[in-house]
Structure 1
Amino acid sequence: MRFSGEKKMTDSQKYLTSYELKKLQDKCVNFIKASDSDKFLRLRYMWRDKPLDYWENILNEKDGQMVPYTKDCNGDQRSALNGNIAGLFFGCALYPKNGKPPWFSYLGNRRLYISSTAIFRKPVRLYFADFYCHTKNHFATLVLTKTDSKQDNFCRDHNLPQLDMKNNPFLKIQTINGVDEVFVTVGVRVEVLYTETIDVNEVTTGKYKTGRFVWVKPSGRGRSRPGGIPKNPACRICNL
């Protein structure tokens, strides 16, 4: 209920403005530059960690179709993505010393690896969406959309900064000896919200077999927290 004289909140007040998003992106870039790991590593695979029952449901009840679902409120409370866009989160953060993914997961005991180049091979656009932390580790959220899709239009309508696929500080494609390879910064923990359905059967057993399942050691709750975890409001690094 709104009281007499109270103005309805506009989108520009409710969501981060283009100026605020650019400022948040600049904060993230400065964080990367200030780190001791201001370098890129080859990202052969992106991964998605979930409990076994999540994957069994997809394979047995949904014919292997991993369908995007509405993003929760994890990260910045004023992100236009929260509750408005459907996607699937993939991890991209590699250990700087050995270039490998984490050997454990807070999100589940079963990991799906998918070739990074297979995902980027389609006509897609990449956007910067968020820079946040919960306690100590900082994350950069990127959105990968199918060009001219509903989700792509949403990102543009809400002024998310579009990134040059071949030249940006977070995740980029480079051609090495005539072959496209994906590289990721190790200066911040990059995560990607991919907005298209993925056929898990095609990925793991199809003709080209671009991915595979592995077991991973669960840690903490071993699954995502319902509703997500809001950004730490006390952090001076990632708050505007």
Structure 2
Amino acid sequence: CTAIAEASNSAGSTSSCVMMRNMTEMDAPLSTPCNIQICEVTCDSFRIMWDMTPEDTARATHFFIDLSRKESRDPNRFKHRDVPTKLVAKAVPLPMAVRGHWFLSPRTEYCVAVQTAVRQPDGDYLVSEWSQVVEFCTGDYAMEHLQQLLDKAKGSAGRLLKFSVFYRNQHPSYFDNVRSECGGVMRPALKDSSGSHGSPINGKLHGVFFSCNTEFDTGLPPKDSPYGPLRFQIPAGHLLNPKISLYFADFYCMYTAYHYVVLVLAPVGSEGDTFCRTRLPMLDLASNPFLTYTAPQRPGEEPLYCHASEVILEVLFTDPVPLDQGGVELISGHHQLMSLTTANAKKDPSCKVCNISVGR
């Protein structure tokens, strides 16, 4: 009996020691996550990983991730260490994919920090210190996202109308500068940030913008313009022909009922063509809802050029355009309709017609 009692006491003592050791390990501080790495960044997702000790890796039950836009002065860290107010994710093997939780916007700078945590029996969390803050920027729309945007734009294009010229309105100072400083050639300028924030051409592709929309009743360019009283007109065939690649780049509105479609015309094999080929959906010149070229069917016939009737087309031509290929004349209408200008205009993020689910 004495031996049994001694064995029992010994087992109880051992069990108590194990329990005490386990409790001590559970209560031991977690090390601060370090060497934060961001990879596989898209317009609405990223993967994140960091270094942890083997002991922390074995016992961590949750990760806390705090994400904020870089421009925010208050990163809004957890107010209470045991009450997470940001994303709480169950611990998984790293790197961990993060998407859909904050509706990330394309081409936007963010700050991110992480904590590791152990959920305790009473429901509270034992947490590490915050890691260092890491900054990163989300990417442009991928081809699949632009295809979604293209599909939406097709529904708004309307029927095709004939046109014969591309045109560009500016103030006299612009054309004076082209003649005196640029040898009479309109040189490509960097695309601004107007339209969809994730469009791959914003701030990256150079070109000269043209319009081609016509008035429904006359079939001619409108008499009014928000860009200036002088209009450069060039025969459509100079910019739209079989030696040109046509791309879809954007679809947006600016809190208005009408929508804009941005198209890119790039001479085949040019620098602009190379840029667009892997970034933008290519359109068939003869068969698309926005801008078409139809070759002559019989000898002596002229090509047919058509534009969409229910959207405003903004056509970016990626090569220089000499003034002597067309003519400059004074328009007869108004030219102070500044509400229609699109320079750095922001897309309406609430419009159900022209937005897709991956950001604005």
Q: Quote the residue 1:83 is aligned against.
A: 203
Q: Quote the residue 1:151 is aligned against.
A: 272
CA distance in 2, matches of 1:120, 1:27: 24
Task: Give the match's secondary structure for 2:36.
Answer: coil
CA distance in 2, matches of 1:29, 1:192: 16
- In terms of mean alpha carbon deviation, does 121-130 or 11-20 score higher? 11-20
CA distance in 2, matches of 1:173, 1:223: 27
- In terms of mean alpha carbon deviation, does 53-62 or 121-130 score higher? 121-130
From the superposition, tell whether residues 161 and 152 of structure 1 become closer, same or farther in structure 2 (CA, over 3 Å): same
Q: Quote the residue 1:206 is aligned against.
A: none
Q: Which runs of 5+ in 1 are unaligned?
A: 33-37, 204-210
Q: Quote the residue 1:26 is aligned against.
A: 151
Q: Quote the residue 1:132 is aligned against.
A: 252
Aligned length: 223
Structure 1 position 161 matched with structure 2 position 281: yes
Larger RCO (CA under 8 A, 6+ residues apart): 1
Contact 2:241 2:293 in 1 (8 A): no
Q: Quote the residue 1:192 is aligned against.
A: 315
Task: Give the match's secondary structure for 2:285.
Answer: coil
Structure 1 position 173 matched with structure 2 position 289: no
Among residues 21, 30, 36, which one is paired with 1:5 in the alignment? 36
CA distance in 1, matches of 2:233, 2:42: 37
Structure 2 residue identity aligned to 1:21: L
Q: Quote the residue 1:108 is aligned against.
A: 228
Deviation at 1:24, TM superposition (A): 0.5
Task: Give the match's secondary structure for 2:295.
Answer: strand
CA distance in 1, matches of 2:215, 2:150: 22
Q: Quote the residue 2:348 is aligned against.
A: 232
Structure 2 residue identity aligned to 1:18: M
After superposition, the C-alpha distances for 1:115-155 in whole angstroms (9 at most, x for unaligned) are: 10122246110001110111222011100001111211111
CA distance in 1, matches of 2:147, 2:342: 29
Percent identical across equivalent pairs? 29
CA distance in 2, matches of 1:138, 1:222: 14
Structure 1 position 50 matched with structure 2 position 165: no
Q: Quote the residue 2:335 is aligned against.
A: 218
Structure 2 residue identity aligned to 1:218: H
CA RMSD of aligned residues (A): 2.2
Which has the higher Rg, Structure 1 or Structure 2? 2
CA distance in 1, matches of 2:168, 2:193: 18
Task: Give the match's secondary structure for 2:168.
Answer: strand
